[in-house]
Amino acid sequence: MTLQGTSIIGASRGQGNESAGQSSNPANNETLDPNYIAATDKELQHAVSLADDAFQCFRRTSGADKAKLLRTIAENIEGSIENLVTRMPLETGLPEMRVRGEAGRTCGQLRMFANLVEGGSWVDARIDRAQPDREPIPKVDTRSMMRPLGPVAVFAASNFPLAFSTAGGDTASALAAGCPVIVKAHSSHSGTAEIVGLAIQRAVADCGLPEGVFSLVYGSGRTIGQALVKHPSIKAVGFTGSYGGGRALMDLAAARDEPIPVYAEMSAINPVVILPEIAAAKGDALGEGLFGSLTLGVGQFCTNPGLIFIHANSVSHITGKLVELVNGSSSATMLNAGIRQAYGSGLDHLKNHSNVELLAAGSCGDAQNQAVPHVFQTTSSTFLASNDLTEEVFGPATLVVTYTSDDELAQLFGSLGGQLTASVHGTDDELASHTGISALMETCTGRLVFNGFPTGVEVCASMVHGGPFPATSDGRSTSVGTMAVYRFTRAVCWQDCPDALLPDELKDANPLGIQRAEV
């Protein structure tokens, strides 16, 4: 497949001449063709105008037709898998198995949302029928359901070039809601974005939908990205990335004449608690599990276990095997030079901290942008006195913090900001006698994990991939699972509306046969 290196503006391609840069191979820093061209301001305005026009039709598109679009996108991505297997490893350093696995996850997610909107009940239809004879005041007829917000800007993530990028969860859920999408491509995997963007463009055309349902733009986040967020026709933003990037988008959106929601997944260290009895009984197995979770994907998962709380009397049960495995490990290629530089800075900060001990480190290979696994250790008193130790180190590094009492453990949790996950390992008896831990976990995280590791995020209806700030910008939301669709909707109520004018979901006859809450 020959990549053109230009934006996808509805059914057309960009025609600008300003370079947006070339992706590079992180294993050797060699640049990859083609040179991508940034969308011009005129092209960006046109993409938003197309999206605005498309919304007038797409917001009324049936669940069946939206499901067809989502399934067609999935089929087109599957039909492009060999192109992805060729390009994506060059841009990211990820192996073929990861490419195929992530493509499967992405397509499964698209089909999950297709099933959701095809069923129709997701709109949360509620009907309160009129009671004209009610005393002292007659009751009016009110009916409500969720409706799409409008065009959505999606910022592709660096660490998941498929599942959290061009056709990822933000795009899939926005389309499911009935919102056109404009994706800002990530510069680290521009070619991957083009392959997937073309798959979506073809699907929109094949399904007979307005071309403005989807566009993909290249360019600097400071220019293209800011212009997107500031545009009055954009009604919501989806973002996965750093705290700094997410916070900047939040501030931009809040400063608009019409502020809009920004759903940003940003930063987490995902604490893991290991209770004493299970540490003594299964120390080696837990050490192996921690090592696998820590190094999965070169530690570049937002659910990476970056913080481990262990009782001081039990720490050797866990760190023995963990240290052995980390010392015997080798480095691996990170996604890009920027991520590797940030990881190196995070390691240097921990190494230079006077009361933090380096327990173990792997060996470094000869390729470029290598990440070496590291394990550090400190005490609860040091951790509680050092706010900087709560900052995420994005990569295969973790900090073991020892505590001496349940009160100290409670203090440790109380010192943390919002998290995507929090995990606890314990025997049945320990968990039963430490109910306060799960209560603490619930207050600071979106997902509580018991006797497991946080890195796997199942794509399913009940999943919550979110958490209180600063894990995300809005702790009421999730970017994975069917509940993600509600980020791009708003509730609308019809009062005393003639049946013929009601949406099908709210009509007396319930022609779609959906589940409704009726009084």
Q: Which amino acid is at 415?
A: S
Q: Which helix (H) or strand (E) holds 54?
A: helix 41-58
- Structure confidence at residue 16 (pLDDT): 86
Structure tokens, 319? 């760190």
What whole-number distance in Å separates Cα of residue 236 and Cα of residue 229? 8
470 upstream amide cis, omega within 30 of 0: yes
For the cut 90, the answer to whether the pLDDT of residue 331 exceeds it is yes
Q: Would you please indicate which residues are annotated as catalytic (active-site) residues? A: 265, 302
- In the sheet that holds 374-379, the strands lie side by side as 357-361, 374-379, 397-403, 307-311, 271-274, 419-425, 445-450
Helix (H, G, I), strand (E, B) or coil at 37: strand
Which band of pLDDT confidence, cut at 50, 70 and 90, is reported for residue 184? very high
Closest CA to 409 of 374, 444, 369: 444
Phi, psi of 507 (to 5 degrees): -70, 155
Q: Which amino acid is at 15?
A: Q
Closest CA to 467 of 401, 374, 392, 407: 392
Give the model confidence (pLDDT) of 440-482 as tens digits.
Answer: 999 999 999 999 999 999 999 999 999 999 999 999 999 999 9
Please report the DSSP string for 117-167 in residue order: HHH-GGG--EEE--BTT-SSSPBPPEEEEEEE---EEEEPPSS-TTTTTTT
Helix (H, G, I), strand (E, B) or coil at 338: helix
Contact criterion met (CB below 8 Å) for 298 and 397: no
Give the model confidence (pLDDT) of 276-327 as tens digits.
Answer: 999 999 999 999 999 999 999 999 999 999 999 999 999 999 999 999 999 9
Phi, psi of 103 (to 5 degrees): -65, -40
- Structure confidence at residue 334 (pLDDT): 98
What whole-number distance in Å separates Cα of residue 268 and Cα of residue 262? 18
Give the model confidence (pLDDT) of 122-177 as tens digits.
Answer: 999 999 999 999 999 999 999 999 999 999 999 999 999 999 999 999 999 999 99
- Structure confidence at residue 222 (pLDDT): 85
CB neighbours of residue 495 within 10 Å: 11
- Structure confidence at residue 405 (pLDDT): 96
Three-state helix/strand/coil letters over 473-518: CCCCCCCCCHHHHHHHEEEEEEECCCHHHCCHHHCCCCCCCCCCEE
Q: What is the DSSP letter of 211?
A: G
Q: Which residues contact 473 (CB under 8 A, 6 or more apart)?
A: 239, 246, 250, 262, 263, 264, 266
For the cut 90, the answer to whether the pLDDT of residue 17 exceeds it is no
Question: How many angstroms separate the Cα of 215 from the Cα of each of 11, 264, 442?
Answer: 8, 20, 38
* Residue whose entry in the numeric block shows the structure tokens 């497991």: 452
Contact criterion met (CB below 8 Å) for 460 and 478: no
Which band of pLDDT confidence, cut at 50, 70 and 90, is reported for residue 379? very high
Q: What domains does the chain contain, in order, with CATH numbers? A: 17-126+142-266+474-498 (3.40.605.10), 271-450 (3.40.309.10)
Give the model confidence (pLDDT) of 191-204 as tens digits.
Answer: 999 999 999 999 99
Contact criterion met (CB below 8 Å) for 217 and 155: no
For the cut 90, the answer to whether the pLDDT of residue 54 exceeds it is yes
- Structure confidence at residue 376 (pLDDT): 99
Mean pLDDT in the chain?
97
Contact criterion met (CB below 8 Å) for 332 and 94: no
- Structure confidence at residue 302 (pLDDT): 96
395-421 in b/e form (b: 16+ CB < 10 A) is bbbbbbbbbeeeebbeebbebbbbbbb
- Structure confidence at residue 189 (pLDDT): 98
What whole-number distance in Å separates Cα of residue 441 and Cα of residue 408? 14
Contact criterion met (CB below 8 Å) for 145 and 492: yes
Angle (CA) 23-24-27 rounded to 5° is: 150
What whole-number distance in Å separates Cα of residue 189 and Cα of residue 338? 13
Average pLDDT of the residues in 398-409: 97
